[in-house]
Structure 1
Amino acid sequence: MRAIVLREFGPAGNLRPEEIPGPVDEPGWVRINLRASALNWHDVLVRQGRYGSPLPHVPGADGAGVRADTGDEVLIVPSLWWGEDESFPARGWEILGDHRPGTYAEAVRVPAECVLPKPRGYNWAQAAALPLVGLTTFRALFARARLRAGESLLVLGAGGGVATMAVTLAAGIGATVVVTSSSERKIEQARELGARDGVLYTEPGWPRAAKAIVSGGFDVVLDSVGTWQDSLDALKPGGRLVVLGASRAEQAPLDVRRFYFGQYSLLGTTMGSPRDFAGLLALLAEHAIAPPVIDRSFPLDEAAAAHEYLEQGGGFGKVVLDHQ
């Protein structure tokens, strides 16, 4: 089968198309003939060697396609072996494409419990783009932060997959959403998805400007970049800071006294469990929420170009690979 193979960690150009053997059948596992896969920043870290993937390796966590045994149209939940405790993943938990062959291929093998029907009305690109960002965002906003209708949410960033998913999910349930960005164009695009407004984080004092939009501060801040002090500056007393990334900073000094006098909650989160994904699907069924935003599609063989585009940071929404 055709696949994108990484034989050496490093730049995007190390992702090259090759012909490799297809997945081997095994009880309890399902072969999916993929129609599309989606890129995540996590894939970039895999490519760079941050997760110690075995080489040679086929990356990719997200995908959608057809079950080889039944012909059903499905998507893949890339959260493998989460375990029974919903508060924290089990020791053996991993993300598809970390240590096992992933979705940058014509076919992939996954545990049967990680295969679910493709949502009605979704095309292949939208279905492939939903799982990782949908699951990650649902867990962050609803399983961890307990966001409710009528509350306010600040999303740091406006253009990435998690950010656009957060805007659509939160606005879809009736929360007030504000975003940050370095681009007025992305703020306008976020408004079109349901955000009330946005602020430029390149401007001094942007947390104050963001708080003014919602008259006093946010109930929840979703921080995928690691700028905790700015995030706390935007919260109202008693607010919840949800952290799921460190793309801009990996160290975050805090004013400890201010933190505890403010009665803030600091919540770490990752991609969630299959049960979280069931909650996501129920939420999508209950509310009129649009499918994931697709920024750009590349042919499978152009995965390297897709990674380069993703790393430039200029897009709005998800980058996908077309396998057809």
Structure 2
Amino acid sequence: MKAALFTQQDHPLSLTDLPDPVPSAGRALVTLRAAALNRRDYFITKGLYPKIVTPIVLGSDGAGLHNGREVIINPNQHWGSNPAFPSKNYTILGMPDNGTLAEKILVNTDRLYPRPAHLNWHEAAALPLAGLTAYRALFTKGGLKKDQKVLITGVGGGVALTAMQFAVAAGAVVYVTSGSVEKLDKAMAMGAAGGADYREESWHESLKAKSGGFDLIIDSAGGPGFNQLIKIAGPGARIVTYGGTLGAVPKFLPQSIFWKQITICGTSMGTDEEFLEMLNFVTLHQIHPVIDRAFPLSRVNEAFERLEQSDQFGKIIIDPAL
């Protein structure tokens, strides 16, 4: 089979012929119809991820055929019995085990779920990691309710855009931020009530004026802007963070949290139960993940270049059939 192999930091992936995986008891062979990239894959290629192993086939998201069944792959592995926190054996598909940037993949049989019937292959492949992360952030950690005012930062990336779609479907009043006016316009065309360009100095004041303050904020950036999120959070609000692309939060004042009774919590991925709940939610509301662009497996490095540039709106797909 063809596979995109990561062998060395800061080097292109190598399109390689590998032996077809051999199924065994409890292990299922999936012929992949599509895979999707995540920021995690890019971080691994840049050495910005713990416990990197090489050579490895990257990719956490995928959908395909197993014995004629149309399936979507849950990238969670070994979460464990505690819904609050994964076990010490927890891993995500695509390192240390080979991932989905290949024509075929071997996974545990309990990682396979029926593909939602309303999704095409590209949409199905785009859903697992972003959908699970967004679902847990919004509903399990964020406690999202209908008509609440929600802010989602960095719309355009997979998790943020998926969270926006989920929140709109749940009946929330959703606002977004982006460094691209074009992305803001697209988000509002999809149901966001408003947005702000975080490159503008007074972006947070603009959002506060529009919303009156937020009940829930979903953030992946951290950094200096996190203090502005605290300022525009309403009394009793929740701030859920699932990333830290902008690094440390400077001059953090505890008083800004406890006077307004704000809850700040972290989240990452989710349980198998949440994965199934997410699939049911997507089916109930007939949500279609947004696809930015699809590349053939032979052009996987071009796909990574687009991911690095952060110009995408939606998920970047790898399609072995192209």
TM over 0.5: same fold? yes
Matched, 1:209 2:206: yes
Structure 2: how far apart are the matches of 1:301 and 1:113?
30
Amino acid at match of 1:261: W
C-alpha separation between the residues in 2 aligned to 1:247 and 1:258? 23
Partner of 1:55: 54
Question: CA 1:27–1:253 in 2, change beyond 3 Å: closer, same or farther?
Answer: farther
1:316 correspondence with 2:316: no
SS across alignment from 2:295: strand
Q: Measure how far apart 1:9 and its partner are.
A: 1.5
Kept after mapping to 2: 8 A contact 1:30/1:110: yes
Q: Which residue of 2 aligns with 1:44?
A: 42
Shift of 1:239: 0.5
Whether contact under 8 Å (1:47, 1:59) holds in the other structure is no
| Selected match of 2:142 from 145, 156, 163 | 145
- Matched to 1:45, the amino acid is F
Mind listing any 5+ residue stretches in structure 1 that lack a counterpart? none
Contact 2:147 2:171 in 1 (8 A): yes
Question: Do the aligned partners of 1:51 and 1:98 also contact (CA within 8 Å) in 2?
Answer: no
* Residue 190 of structure 1: aligned partner: 187
CA 82–290 in structure 1, closer or farther in 2 if over 3 Å, else same: same
Tell whether the 8 Å contact from 2:116 to 2:283 is kept in structure 1 after alignment: no
| Deviation of 1:27 (Å) | 1.1
Whole-Å separation in 1 of the counterparts to 2:18 and 2:53? 16
Q: Deviations over 1:91-128 (max 9, x none)?
A: 10100002010000111111111100111121111000
Aligned to 1:31: 29
Map 1:92-131; keep pairs closer than 5 Å.
92-131=89-128
Identity of counterpart residues, as a percentage? 38
Task: For 2:284 and 2:118, locate their aligned partners in 1 and report how far apart those are by CA, in whole Å.
Answer: 15
- Give the aligned partner of residue 280 of structure 1: 278
Corresponding residue number in structure 1 for 2:63: 64
- State the one-letter code of the partner of 1:56: P
Structure 1 residue 267, shift from structure 2 partner: 0.8
The answer to whether structure 1 residue 224 and structure 2 residue 201 are counterparts is no
- Say whether 1:168 aligns with 2:165: yes
RMSD between aligned residues:
1.2
TM-score (norm 1): 0.95
> Do 2:290 and 2:314's aligned partners in 1 also have CA atoms closer than 8 Å?
yes
Structure 1's consecutive aligned runs of 4 or more residues displaced over 4 angstroms after TM superposition are none
The SS at the match of 2:57 is: coil
Paired residue secondary structure (1:278): helix
Deviation at 1:286, TM superposition (A): 2.9
Alignment gaps of 5+ in structure 2: none
| Distance in 1 between residues matched to 2:140 and 2:255, nearest whole Å | 28
Aligned counterparts of 2:52 and 2:94: Cα–Cα separation in 1: 8
CA distance, structure 2, for counterparts of residue 297 and residue 109 of structure 1: 23
- Which residue of the partner structure matches residue 200 of structure 1? 197
Structure 2 match to 1:3: 3
Question: Whole-Å Cα distance in 1 between the matches of residues 16 and 208 of structure 2?
Answer: 51
Q: For 2:293, what is the secondary structure of its paired residue?
A: strand
Q: Partners in 2 of 1:322 and 1:251 — Cα distance?
A: 39
Residues 36, 62 of structure 2: 8 Å contact kept: yes
Q: Kindly state the Cα deviation for residue 258 of structure 1 after the two structures are TM-superposed.
A: 1.8
Q: 1:78, CA displacement in angstroms?
A: 0.2
* Distance in 2, Cα, partners of 1:290 & 1:252: 38
Cα distance in 1 between the residues matched to 2:148 and 2:79 = 30
Change beyond 3 A, Cα 1:226–1:71: same
1:81-100 to structure 2, matched below 5 A, reads 81-100=78-97
Report the TM-score when normalising by structure 2: 0.96
The answer (yes or no) to whether the contact 2:75–2:92 under 8 Å persists in 1 is yes
Deviation of 1:252 after TM superposition, in Å, equals: 4.7
Indicate if the aligned counterparts of 2:29 and 2:107 stay in contact, CA closer than 8 A: yes
Is 1:237–2:271 an aligned residue pair?
A: no
In structure 2, distance between residues paired with 1:246 and 1:295:
23
Q: SS of 1:277's equivalent?
A: helix
**What is the CA-CA distance between 1:231 and the residue it aligns to?**
1.5
User: What is the aligned residue count?
Assistant: 318
